[in-house]
Copies of this chain bind each other. A is one copy, B any other.
């Protein structure tokens, strides 16, 4: 707990309480390894990397995408993992993920002043449903970034989990709805990985 001195209003105390709570995302381990393959990535640094991808690849989004909002989605999209943890995209059973994340969203966004919690929750929900152009772009970035880390680490998480080409194509197909350029890039990464024997060709 932060010991807040007198004079700090109740609203600010809630804002700071939330910001301290989400620091825990720095200890949530993902399957991806970082680019030098020295260790697994955590969700906090992953979220930063996604936001940077959205900023740098903004020209690959359609004109109807609000890049500023897509960046905010990248920042908040995995906050629910403070409680729910990360679920590997190719895990056989992902059935509990949605319920666990919804409960986490209730608790975590509920730490904030009401309208601010609602604002952050709406960003998370738009990312999760990825039905709007902006949500679809943020979602495509979240699919692409682990592929980039696989591309520079010899497909580390693909080989250690025995992932096959068809799985990667199926799970990453949503990239196409977010950006045709990024889907072409992703497809090229998959093709190269198959050529190099990193991904099993099915």
Stretch at the interface among A41-49, A86-94, A131-139, A162-170: A41-49
Q: Is the interface of A mostly helix, strand, loop or mixed?
A: helix
Which residues of the partner chain B approach A189 to less than 8 Å between Cβ atoms?
Answer: 2-5
In the complex, how many residues of chain A place their beta carbon closer than 8 angstroms to a beta carbon of chain B? Answer: 60
Which residues of the partner chain B approach A56 to less than 8 Å between Cβ atoms?
Answer: 15, 18-19, 112, 116, 120
Which residues of the partner chain B approach A47 to less than 8 Å between Cβ atoms?
Answer: 48
Copies in the assembly, this chain: 2
Q: Does A53 contact B (CB under 8 A)?
A: yes
Which residues of the partner chain B approach A116 to less than 8 Å between Cβ atoms?
Answer: 56, 59
Pick 13 A–B contacts, CB within 8 A, sort by A.
Answer: A1-B152, A3-B196, A5-B189, A7-B184, A19-B53, A19-B56, A27-B36, A27-B38, A44-B45, A45-B48, A48-B51, A68-B68, A71-B71
Q: Which residues of A contact B (CB under 8 A)?
A: 1-8, 12, 15-16, 18-20, 22-27, 34-36, 38, 41-42, 44-45, 47-49, 51-53, 55-57, 59-60, 68, 71-72, 75-76, 112, 116, 120, 148-149, 151-152, 181, 184-185, 187-189, 191-192, 196
